[in-house]
């Protein structure tokens, strides 16, 4: 199969320096969604050519994908219409395979629809249509007296009667490649816009006696394209409704399906609950019985079975074990590894550290570049000072150690197993195992000191 994806549009109404097809839906560029669907309809055997037609911002689109995706990029310049765009791909199309034409700014199209379209084409041509209550702006499907597709007329070229037709063209089609090449070469730009319309190949196919099948969309949302920030936001909401439904179909309980954003992939076990206003980005794995409280952001995280993430946490690149308790108001910065039954409490930040089974940092602490053993208690206000202004240094805290409130551990440092750090200590030398280490200046009271008073103005 040949797959041509049109991605040359500038998208002036987006008012953005970013090429239109690189604007994101559900956390990924629109073009990525289209490429994923294209892969799903590729045959298991036979050659496949995937050609992306770029124009405005073409270098940025190429750079975003590179050669790793097996894509061929061609440039449309100047941009003289959809027919002219597909014509740029012709040298790369294999004659013996059908050609599927897709659009990089139509990200909601599904593999099931495209498989239905390809099956309907057979040896002929099949186009995807949709019926709209308000068809303004779309090319209309004109049928003959027998109900067969005769041609497509663009709105600017349509008569009043043709504008009343509610069946419109989505632009997506499958055609026999040899014939498509000939039809493209014969296109004319004698129309209101002075462009070469891909839709004009339909009339040529009818004239040539090639069967033309119209496959009507069951869900009109699949045909929605993006030309403005408002349309992008509309499509984002539709995509998120789909994501929420997929989670619920998999058994996840959502407090409110309208108040979750999935910007990647989510793998969930049984009895998972997600509260309102959560954002899941990248690859997120949730074990059995995980509970995610309200207003959390999880990016590229794995959460073990039975762990609860309380509200208002930001977790990034964290692997958290089973039966843990995180938050509220906790932050995990890359890269964090927490063992089973670890507790991270309110206003605690952990960065590039590991904490083993049963360890706790319940209040107002920073653990950075540290290796923390089992059953360690990080007291309130403890800071692992990992940065000297130029380089990061590591701290190792042994099993069963405890740090008193308002301690500062100045890395590089080792705190031995079972050691205790006295409250208010600033420790910059290794603390031996099983001992109490106190590092604070002597308390002094000044008998004759007087509190300053305000001067009269």
Residues annotated as part of the active site = 363
Report CA-CA distances (Å) from 130 to 136, 172, 234, 393: 13, 11, 18, 61
Q: Which of 101, 113, 76, 116 is nearest to 183 (CA)?
A: 101
Q: Which of 3, 33, 36 is nearest to 21 (CA)?
A: 33
Six-digit token string for 183: 């039809």
Q: What is the SS3 assignment for 84?
A: helix
Q: How far apart are CA 314 and CA 331, in angstroms?
A: 5
Q: With contact defined as beta carbons under 8 Å apart, do 404 and 422 qualify? A: yes
Q: How far apart are CA 400 and CA 353, in angstroms?
A: 17
Q: With contact defined as beta carbons under 8 Å apart, do 313 and 330 qualify? A: yes
Long-range contacts: 346-354, Cβ < 8 Å, 24+?
A: 348/378, 350/318, 351/386, 352/392, 353/384
Within 297-406, residue ranges assigned H as helices are none
If 0-12 CB within 10 Å is exposed, 13-18 middle and 19+ buried, where does residue 218 land? exposed
End-to-end CA distance of the chain: 87
Q: How far apart are CA 54 and CA 146, in angstroms?
A: 39
Tokens 């969930």 -> residue: 268
In degrees, rounded to 5, the angle at the alpha carbon of residue 324 between the alpha carbons of residues 350 and 367 is 15
- Could you tell me whether strands 140-143 and 125-131 are parallel, antiparallel, or unpaired per DSSP bridges? unpaired
If 0-12 CB within 10 Å is exposed, 13-18 middle and 19+ buried, where does residue 30 land? buried
- Beta-bridge partners for 427: 409
């Amino acid at each position: 199969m040949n797959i041509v994806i049109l991605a040359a549009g500038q998208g002036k109404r987006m008012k953005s320096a970013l090429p239109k097809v690189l604007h994101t839906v559900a956390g990924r560029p629109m073009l990525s969604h289209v490429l994923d669907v294209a892969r799903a309809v590729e045959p298991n055997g036979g050659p496949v050519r995937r050609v992306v037609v770029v124009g405005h911002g073409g270098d940025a689109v190429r750079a975003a994908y590179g050669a790793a995706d097996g894509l061929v990029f061609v440039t449309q310049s100047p941009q003289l219409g959809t027919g002219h765009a597909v014509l740029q791909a012709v040298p790369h199309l294999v004659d013996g395979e059908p050609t599927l034409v897709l659009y990089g700014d139509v990200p909601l199209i599904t593999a099931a629809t495209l498989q239905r379209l390809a099956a309907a084409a057979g040896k002929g041509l099949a186009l995807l249509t949709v019926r709209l209550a308000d068809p303004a702006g779309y090319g209309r499907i004109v049928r003959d007296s027998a109900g067969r597709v005769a041609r497509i007329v663009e709105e600017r070229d349509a008569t009043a009667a043709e504008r009343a037709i509610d069946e419109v063209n989505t632009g997506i089609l499958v055609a026999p490649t040899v014939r498509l090449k000939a039809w493209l070469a014969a296109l004319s730009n004698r129309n209101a816009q002075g462009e070469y319309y891909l839709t004009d190949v339909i009339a040529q196919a009818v004239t040539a006696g090639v069967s033309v099948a119209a496959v009507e969309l069951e869900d009109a949302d699949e045909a929605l394209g993006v030309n403005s920030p408002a349309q992008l936001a509309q499509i984002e909401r539709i995509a998120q409704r789909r994501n929420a439904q997929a989670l619920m179909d998999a058994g996840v309980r959502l407090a409110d399906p309208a108040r979750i954003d999935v910007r990647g992939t989510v793998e969930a076990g049984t009895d998972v609950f997600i509260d309102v206003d959560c954002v899941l980005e990248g690859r997120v794995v949730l074990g059995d019985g995980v509970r995610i409280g309200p207003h959390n952001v999880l990016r590229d995280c794995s959460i073990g079975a039975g762990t609860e993430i309380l509200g208002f946490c930001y977790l990034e690149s964290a692997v958290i074990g089973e039966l843990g308790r995180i938050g509220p108001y906790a932050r995990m910065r890359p890269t964090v590894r927490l063992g089973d039954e670890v507790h991270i409490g309110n206003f605690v930040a952990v960065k590039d550290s590991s904490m083993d089974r049963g360890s706790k940092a319940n209040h107002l602490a920073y653990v950075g570049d540290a290796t923390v053993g089992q059953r360690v208690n990080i007291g309130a206000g403890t800071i692992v000072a990992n940065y000297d202004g130029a380089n990061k240094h590591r701290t190792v805290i042994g099993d069963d150690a405890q740090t008193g409130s308002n301690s500062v551990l100045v890395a590089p440092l080792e705190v031995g197993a079972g050691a205790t750090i006295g409250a208010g200590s600033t420790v910059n030398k290794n603390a031996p195992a099983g001992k109490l280490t106190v590092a604070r200046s002597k308390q002094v009271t000044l008998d004759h000191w007087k509190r300053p008073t305000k001067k009269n103005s």
